[in-house]
Structure 1
Amino acid sequence: MTGELSPQAAPSEQGFEGALRPATLSEFVGQSKVRRQLGLLLDAATMRQHTPDHILLAGPPGLGKTTLSMIVAAELDKPLHQTSGPAIQHAGDLAAVLSALTPGEVLFVDEIHRMARSAEEMLYLAMEDFKVDIMVGKGAGATSVPLELAPFTLVGATTRAGLLPNPLRDRFGFTAHLEFYSDDELADVVRRAAGLLDFSVSEQGVDEIARRSRGTPRIANRLLRRVRDYSLVHETPGDTASVHAALALYDVDEHGLDRLDREVLRAVVERFSGGPVGLSTLAVSVGEEAETIESVVEPFLVRAGLLTRTPRGRVATRLGWQHLGIVPAGPGAAPTLI
């Protein structure tokens, strides 16, 4: 067997990620309330033949914010321009993007809370009046020249809504808060993706993938693709045994914890006797950046009830101890394995 893809197969493989994205609100799985609200907003704008209000999508990574921005553009039958907050570090960067927009175009800014402050202040006027002021010249001779913009719809996405300044947040006509998915919703996501990938997986396998996906469709799709790869290489059906074997190979346990999650939890339990332990100390103990622990690992462990945050630091819960198969020690005693 060779490792080469045929010219016909290569584009298909490269297009898988895009193929898994829903193209319309009716295809989008989960977030039923947000879908109804967004559908009403877009339908009303279409009926009035008017540019929809600006939209803010807030929520953890992997829940579909980018996909919803693409759906907004598709439902309006308008082009989509994508950029990100970190890419807009000067007011001039934003002015260049805004001036190139066509009437009715959808501008998607990912991680909008990371825009430069000068760009944020320019965006206020652009969102309300569809114009920006451009400074021409320097020093005492500098003048402000107003630049008219084509009407557009801004779709901002953020994982840290609290970091957005109030003047910017208040200019969005609709704010959607995306929630983590239930296991049943994730099972629907897996079934849809399996059909698009032409991969047959058992209902028990679907449920197992959904249960280990941490409430996140992006993770569900990723795990499904790893199961598909395992079945292809080992020539096994997509049954429960293959799902278990594939996820064990990639260090994803029955609760969705991966290697880093377990390292962090084990460090709290074994090295610091269950806590409390500070974030910086915990990060050093597992050899990871504090930001990674705080933004990637800790939210899931807290949501799963395995870890808690206290004013003194992170503390493992009884469920956290049990997950590692260790019984909490009493005063003066050593922890024991279950």
Structure 2
Amino acid sequence: MNWDATDAGADADAGADAGDRLVGASADGEDQAVEAALRPKSLSEFVGQERVREQLDLVLRAALARGATSDHVLLSGAPGLGKTTLAMIVAAEMGAPIRITSGPAIQHAGDLAAILSSLQEGEVLFLDEIHRMSRPAEEMLYMAMEDFRVDVIVGKGPGATAIPLELPPFTLVGATTRAGLLPPPLRDRFGFTGHMEFYASGELERVLHRSAQLLDVEIDAEGAAEIAGRSRGTPRIANRLLRRVRDYAQVKGDGFVNREVAAAALGVYEVDERGLDRLDRAVLHALLKLFSGGPVGLSTLAVAVGEERETVEEVAEPFLVREGLLARTPRGRVATPAAWAHLGLTAPRHAPGASGQEGLFGA
């Protein structure tokens, strides 16, 4: 396996929340090290994503039967759902080496040409956050994916010369958290596209039992269910919470993880029963108590919470909206009835979602 030298921070600005949020979906150095040990090595070991797994298995088996390289693969979905793991499984199933780099690391066509020209036949190139690659590199990638050839420009101006460079057949696995930002010509060159969904609680419990076995943690079914319910449908978060619960169980108990131990441990880390952390609850508290449920502008809400506007919009809001606790409307952010119930508060009659106020949620 080869890592591009500039790839160490591939997810850095895609998820600045990961550094200090236990429920952040991006990976820091500790997560990357642990994930390397916990990653399944084959499709048969991979938990969840049944449809994507089945479809990808057909693509890979057919390529092996033909004795050819696999079609290029595009994986989209939120951070922490297993895109990198599947890329490594593609290489393992094809019996090929893998080269790993990221979109932000490729800022010039020459950067991409250097990587492509050093690929071996059949090698898998994993390009994380592919939507953040520079446009000149993107255009070079079109020809490389389709014709296994790139034109290297030598010189500048009228005297510039294009030197064609033949490439060995390879498989590109692209991963993106924002598939809508990929230009259609690039999307069309992928033979297989898979969208990664958030995990059901039962699937996360299977992930946790497997991880607990690898980490030598004793956990029962109820303990795994408690952690899974607070993991936001994301295996990366589930594994991170498992490690923190393990620490608590070792220090405060006998090392065994059951429902009571898991709940007590995650209470210490301020992760509640729905997976909300301090920032999420701060946003809801401000929205409900200071602004009576809204509507309120994003900037005003951010000031009330004491955070940057971008932090509220990009870190806290997506999960709150997905959980049905907050809604974005043309008039501003509003809390839903579920938000009032979650915080144990009674919504006033004039609050959004109360009788006669439902129209706020229709936009």
Once the two structures are superposed, what CA deviation does each residue of 1:265-317 show, in whole Å capped at 9, x if it has no partner? 22221222212223333333323343333333212111111111112222110
Q: 1:36 aligns with which of 54, 63, 78?
A: 54
> For the structure 1 residues 167 and 105, does the alpha-carbon distance in structure 2 shift closer, same or farther, using more than 3 Å as the test?
same
Deviation at 1:319, TM superposition (A): 0.6
Residue 148 (structure 2) pairs with residue 130 (structure 1):
yes
> Residue in 2 aligned with 1:10?
none
Q: Distance in 2 between matches of 1:177 and 1:329?
A: 40
Deviation at 1:90, TM superposition (A): 1.0
Q: Counterpart of 2:299 in 1: which secondary structure?
A: helix
Alignment of 1:171-190 (within 5 A): 171-190=189-208
Q: Is the 8 A contact 1:210 1:220 kept in 2?
A: yes
Q: Distance in 1 between matches of 2:206 and 2:103?
A: 32
Q: Counterpart of 2:327 in 1: which secondary structure?
A: strand
> Residue in 1 aligned with 2:280?
261
> Residue in 1 aligned with 2:165?
147
Q: Distance in 1 between matches of 2:296 and 2:241?
A: 32
Q: Distance in 1 between matches of 2:277 and 2:111?
A: 39
Residue 127 (structure 2) pairs with residue 121 (structure 1):
no
Q: 1:108 aligns with which of 113, 117, 126?
A: 126
Residue 303 (structure 2) pairs with residue 303 (structure 1):
no
Once the two structures are superposed, what CA deviation does each residue of 1:195-237 show, in whole Å capped at 9, x if it has no partner? 1111111211111011111111111111111111111122333
> Residue in 1 aligned with 2:289?
270
Which amino acid letter does the alignment assign opposite residue 203 of structure 1? A
Q: Counterpart of 1:326 in 2: which secondary structure?
A: coil
**Further displaced range: 40-49 or 321-330:** 321-330
> For the structure 1 residues 278 and 331, does the alpha-carbon distance in structure 2 shift closer, same or farther, using more than 3 Å as the test?
closer
Q: Counterpart of 1:327 in 2: which secondary structure?
A: coil
Q: 1:239 aligns with which of 250, 253, 258?
A: 258
Residue 166 (structure 2) pairs with residue 161 (structure 1):
no
Residue 299 (structure 2) pairs with residue 280 (structure 1):
yes
Q: Distance in 2 between matches of 1:280 and 1:95?
A: 43
Q: Distance in 2 between matches of 1:270 and 1:96?
A: 56
> For the structure 1 residues 15 and 158, does the alpha-carbon distance in structure 2 shift closer, same or farther, using more than 3 Å as the test?
closer
Alignment of 1:12-27 (within 5 A): 16-27=34-45
Q: Distance in 2 between matches of 1:188 and 1:95?
A: 42
Q: 1:98 aligns with which of 112, 116, 129?
A: 116
Q: Is the 8 A contact 1:16 1:197 kept in 2?
A: no
Alignment of 1:38-117 (within 5 A): 38-117=56-135
> Residue in 2 aligned with 1:210?
228
Q: Distance in 2 between matches of 1:298 and 1:328?
A: 20
Residue 271 (structure 2) pairs with residue 252 (structure 1):
yes
Which amino acid letter does the alignment assign opposite residue 245 of structure 1? A
Once the two structures are superposed, what CA deviation does each residue of 1:42-87 show, in whole Å capped at 9, x if it has no partner? 0000010111111100111111001000100100110111111111
> For the structure 1 residues 124 and 183, does the alpha-carbon distance in structure 2 shift closer, same or farther, using more than 3 Å as the test?
same
Q: Distance in 1 between matches of 2:331 and 2:174?
A: 35
TM-score, normalised relative to structure 2 = 0.85
Which amino acid letter does the alignment assign opposite residue 19 of structure 1? A
**Further displaced range: 301-310 or 233-242:** 233-242
What value does the CA root-mean-square deviation take over the aligned residues?
1.8
> For the structure 1 residues 65 and 14, does the alpha-carbon distance in structure 2 shift closer, same or farther, using more than 3 Å as the test?
closer
Q: Distance in 2 between matches of 1:301 and 1:324?
A: 13
> Residue in 2 aligned with 1:326?
345
> For the structure 1 residues 208 and 331, does the alpha-carbon distance in structure 2 shift closer, same or farther, using more than 3 Å as the test?
closer
Which amino acid letter does the alignment assign opposite residue 206 of structure 2? D
Q: Distance in 1 between matches of 2:175 and 2:136?
A: 19
> For the structure 1 residues 130 and 14, does the alpha-carbon distance in structure 2 shift closer, same or farther, using more than 3 Å as the test?
closer
Q: Distance in 2 between matches of 1:259 and 1:126?
A: 46
Q: Distance in 2 between matches of 1:292 and 1:152?
A: 39
Q: Distance in 2 between matches of 1:50 and 1:83?
A: 23
Q: Is the 8 A contact 1:61 1:159 kept in 2?
A: yes
Q: Distance in 2 between matches of 1:16 and 1:320?
A: 34
Deviation at 1:118, TM superposition (A): 1.1
Q: 1:191 aligns with which of 204, 209, 222?
A: 209
Deviation at 1:331, TM superposition (A): 4.5
> Residue in 1 aligned with 2:22?
none
> Residue in 1 aligned with 2:5?
none
Which amino acid letter does the alignment assign opposite residue 127 of structure 1? M
Q: Distance in 1 between matches of 2:282 and 2:349?
A: 23
Count how many residue pairs are aligned between Structure 1 and Structure 2. 321
Structure 1: gaps of 5 or more residues: 1-12, 333-338
